[in-house]
Each structure stands twice: as structure tokens, then as C-alpha cells.
A and B are shown apart, each in its own frame.
Chain A
Amino acid sequence: MNLVKAELAKSTSTRMIWGLLVGALGFTLLNVVANIFAAGQEGGAPPLESAQGLRNVFGSASGATVFVLMLGVLSVSGEFRHGTITTTFLAVPGRARVIGAKLLALPLLSAGFAAAAVALTVIVALPLLAVKDVPVHWADAELIGVLVGSFVAITLYPVLGVGFSALVRNQVAAVISALVWVLVAESVLVSFLPEVGKWTPGGAAAAMTRLEPLRGGDLLPPALGALLFVAYGVALAALGVRTTMRRDIT
């Protein structure tokens, strides 16, 4: 697949990728430490001795999702920002094919982010938990499931970014509105309508990571969560291809 290879080369040929990787790993590290030391505090997260407490620690890598979301957003909006979209659409006039290639290429790239963030989580969490004399009940707490879920969620997250940016091609608008959605708007929405919580993109991601859902409530089965999440990204991309991506490139 020439196009997928070209998309990988686009994302890896600038420094942005390293900035996002450093951000993703730094944030993961911060999350692990914070989750371990904040656990069991009054009014805070469940204690480390509980299954959910341990799951929160081992799911720390899921904080990296916001960085790979940006990776996806920038892969489309960056082309409009810098005008490289002209070269891209000259080479591949089928605009849907370009977006399709990004939908395939970006998860390949973010799988690397996911592996690094999940590995970092384990490497940092185990010694810290040992220092705190917290036994790690791998099987009881289904920790492998949390790690695999985090890996899958991080891997798939740029799909949402690509889809969203296919609809909102202005870089500043796309970055800001995507961040506002995942960091603020989604939790506000769920606080008013708890029953939709498991159906939002964040809820679908939580189904994969098996972390505590926003404001309580239940979660979809992990596989269904992954499917729903990808469906969100693909649906946004399809909508973008039919609307924004048809516009003139001037």
C-alpha cells in the first residue's frame, strides 16, 4: 500500500511526532505516579488494595490517548495548514482514498506510542507498588485486560482525530474543538445525561481500558467498545469526505 506508506512517512518526517511521543510518555509517567499516590485518599480514587484501584494504576497509559488523538487531527489539518494538501490531492485525486489511507496509517503509528506507554506504565508501577508493599493481583484485578485495553485504545484513538479533522480542516479549530470535547464537553454531557455515557467516544474508549467510566454507570463489552469507537472515527471521516473534503483547494 503506497498511500499508507506515504502517510507514515508524512507523520514521521517532522519533529512533531517526537514532541507528541515525549508528551504521551511524560503524561503516562505522571499518571502512574499520581494514581499510586492519590489512591485511597479521602474523597479520591479507590485504594490500591482494591481491584479498581490497581486497574486505575495499570490503566495510566490511557492518558496518552489525547496525544495520539492530536496525531490524527494534525495528519489532516496539518496538510491544510501548510498547503501540502495540494501535492497530496494532485498525486491522489480520489480524496476519500487519502483519508482512508490516513485512517489505516495512523493506528499503525500510534501502536508504537501504545506499546511504549503501556511498557512504561508497567516498568514504573511495579517498583513503586513494591515500595508501598501493595500486592499485585494480576488475575483478580484483570490487569492484563487493562494493559491490553489501554494498548488497543491508544492504537485506535487517532482514527477519531482523522475523522474529526476530515470534517474540520482548519488546524486551530480542529485542535481546540477536539481537545475541548475530550477534556471538557464529554464529561459535562455525561454529567447531565449519565445514560449516554457508555455510548460516547470516551465511553467506548473506557470500555476498552476497563477504567472507571465517567460519573459511574456501566460500560459496553470491550470488543463492542472498540467497534463503536472505530465506527465514530469512520463515520466522521465519511461525513468529512462528503462535505469538507469536497471543497476547493485554493
Chain B
Amino acid sequence: MTAIPSAATLDATAPIQARSLRKQFGAVVAVDDLSFEVAPGRITGLLGPNGSGKTTTLRMLVGLVSPSHGSATIFGHPYRDLPRPPTMLGAALEASGFHPGRSGRDHLRIAGAMAGIPSARVDEVLGQTGIADAADRRVGGYSLGMRQRLALATALLGSPRILLLDEPANGLDPGGIAWLREFLRWFAADGGTVLISSHLLSEVAQTVDDVLIIAQGRLVNASPLSELIAGTEASVVVVTPTPDLLLSALRAKQIVCEIDESESTASPGGESAIIVRGLTAAAVGDLAHAEGIRLHRLTDQKQDLEAVFLRLVNEQPT
């Protein structure tokens, strides 16, 4: 038995840390060598296709699933060793973990009682999540969106500084999604830590600051969202009758560029298409003008975020 850590030993700079997490269910490796950190004051998205290991990862963070290897800590300690854990980390891991015959209020009352949270919090979180009017109805009659709000209300009961939300936007209408986004922004701006999972990058692109992407249980990206976006927009397609001149001019300036084979074959009259990365279309045009190179076409190729996401999850390290 480890001693319960006092508030003094909690490491506020490391709200969530995963180290070499691995989980094997029989012959299936659900999560493999997964290490990451989640920063305070930011919203982090844990993204990956269905079955990539997101839910297993979240459940390992809070000790519901025990890792086959590696460890996870919350404020520097395993979740189970935290004093009254729901007051440190609130988790909404599914919108289905409710007894259908129990009212939303009773569900919250029970969850609060187990963690020693004053019952006054029940009404506060009901109001905060906008389900106060439905509080005394049986959860069996709730819509998926209302269940999501009840799951979030449960996570908020202990006034935690970390929120762990598994696919929280599922079943929410556009208004609900906008509300959730606002709420999470406010929570993070207040210094809170948010980790949300989703199988759609576009769904959370307007919400998250940092992006963790996993595919087949392995981490394939950990970066601020802005870096992912930067990686998507800096590609320009240039069509020129003198590709060699342009390529050497670009390479002289250490700019990454290559012949786009698919475009070139389709172009008549000896034209070639060149993909230029790291420059805007305007910059490429100016450079060509300065060098006296003729251009027949100049296009910003805005690969969208979802395409980047798909590329990352499909080309994983072996």
C-alpha cells in the first residue's frame, strides 16, 4: 500500500502522464508503447479511428483497465492513490453507464455520496450542464445528448481540475457542441486540463489546442494543432514549361519541392507540375518572377485537416 499523497506532493505541472502504456487483451494488442503528457491550461484531443485504443487508453489513465506494461499518473500519482479522486479528475467515459430506472438527480446524488462530495453540488452541476429540468426523470427516457450532459455533470461533481471525456460530442446537436466547446475553453482558460477523445479530427479541430493521434494502439502524432495546420497549408502546385529551371531555383533556396507525377502526365505541351512545400503561392510566384521563369498555373493546395489525419493514421511506424 502506498500512502495517500497529500496536496503538497501533487505535481500540478504534470496533470496527466502516460509512460510506455501497453495493453493486451488475449492476442490483441490494443495499446502499444504509448507515452504522452497532457499540459495544464490546454485542451488536448486524443484522436484515432474506431478501435485504435482511445477508450482503453483513457480507462488505463484512471485505473479501470490495468496496463499490461507501463504506467499512468495523474498529478504525479496513480489515479487510485489520489485523495478523493473525483475531486482531482472528472471522467465521462461513456454516455451509457446509467441505470435506466434511476433519475438523473439520483445518479448524481449517489456518485457524489461515494466520493464524499456535498449534495449541494448536484443542483449546481445540473444547472451547469443544462439538464436541471430533466433531473427527476428516469435516465432511460433521456436522449443521447442528455446522457452526454449527465455524464459531463457527473465528471464535474467534484469540481476537478482535470476533465477526461470520451467522445463527448457524440449525440450532441450543433448547439450542444458549441456549448461544450465554450465550456471546455472556459475550463482550460481557468487553468484546467482537458483530454477529450474523438474519431474525427474535424469534430474537435475548433476545440483542441494539442493533438495526440493514435493508430492501432501506437502514437503517430503529438503536437499542437497549429503545427498540424501549418503542415497542411504550405503546399503549392506550380505548372511550368521549364520545370528544371524552377526546381533548381527553389533548391538553391533550400525549399522542399518535387515533380508531381500525377499532374505532369496530364499536362500537354511539355509542362510539368511541381509541388512546393513551406511557401505560399504568392511567394512562389514572386520567386519565379525574380528568376524570369514562366508559370502557367499556380495553386494553393489546401489539403484539409481530415486528410492529414487520415494520412497520419494510415502511414504508421512499423
Q: A residues bordering B, Cβ < 8 Å?
A: 2-3, 5-6, 9-10, 13-16, 78, 82-94, 246, 248-250
Contact = CB atoms under 8 A, between A and B. Distances in A.
B276 to A, nearest CB: 47
A13 B85 contact: no
Q: Which 3 A-B pairs have the closest CB atoms?
A: A93-B80, A83-B97, A91-B114
Tell me the interface secondary structure of chain A in the complex.
helix
B93 interface: yes
Contact of B106 (A13, A86, A91, A246): A13
Given A86-B93, A86-B94, A90-B86, A6 B79 contact: no
A13 B102 contact: yes
A248 B30 CA distance: 13
A9 B85 CA distance: 21
Contacts of A6: 110, 113-114
A9 B62 contact: no
A87 B114 CA distance: 9
Interface of B: 55-56, 59, 62-66, 79-80, 85-86, 91, 93-94, 96-103, 106-107, 109-111, 113-116, 154
Contact of A9 (B91, B96, B97, B113): B113
Contacts of A2: 113-116
22 contacts: A2-B115, A2-B116, A3-B114, A6-B113, A6-B114, A9-B106, A10-B110, A13-B109, A14-B99, A78-B99, A82-B97, A82-B99, A86-B64, A88-B114, A90-B85, A91-B111, A94-B80, A248-B65, A248-B66, A249-B64, A250-B55, A250-B56
Given A90-B91, A250-B56, A5 B64 contact: no
Nearest to B109: A9
B63 A93 contact: yes
A87 B80 contact: no
A110 to B, nearest CB: 19
Nearest to A5: B113
Contacts of B63: 89, 93
A84 to B, nearest CB: 6
Contacts of A14: 99, 101-102
Contacts of B55: 250
Contact of A13 (B103, B115, B116): B103
B88 to A, nearest CB: 11
Contacts of A16: 101
A85 to B, nearest CB: 8
B109 A91 contact: no
A91 B86 CA distance: 6
A178 to B, nearest CB: 20
A249 B94 contact: no
A93 B79 contact: yes
A92 B66 CA distance: 16
Contact of A83 (B96, B109, B110): B96
B113 A83 contact: no
A91 B59 CA distance: 14
A196 to B, nearest CB: 38
A82 B86 CA distance: 20
A83 B114 contact: no
Contacts of B99: 13-14, 78, 82, 84
Contact of A249 (B59, B96, B106, B109): B59
B303 to A, nearest CB: 36
Nearest to A78: B99
Contact of A90 (B64, B96, B103, B109): B64
A249 B65 contact: yes
Contacts of B116: 2
Nearest to B154: A87
A250 B111 CA distance: 19
Given A82-B99, A83-B94, A83-B96, 5 more contacts: A14-B99, A16-B101, A84-B98, A86-B97, A89-B63
Contacts of B103: 13
B14 to A, nearest CB: 19
A92 B115 contact: yes
B85 A91 contact: yes
Contacts of B64: 86, 89-90, 248-250
Contact of B100 (A9, A82, A85, A87): A82
A92 B56 CA distance: 19
A84 B116 CA distance: 17
A148 to B, nearest CB: 32
Interface centre among A78, A82, A85 (most CB of B within 10 A): A82
Nearest to B65: A248
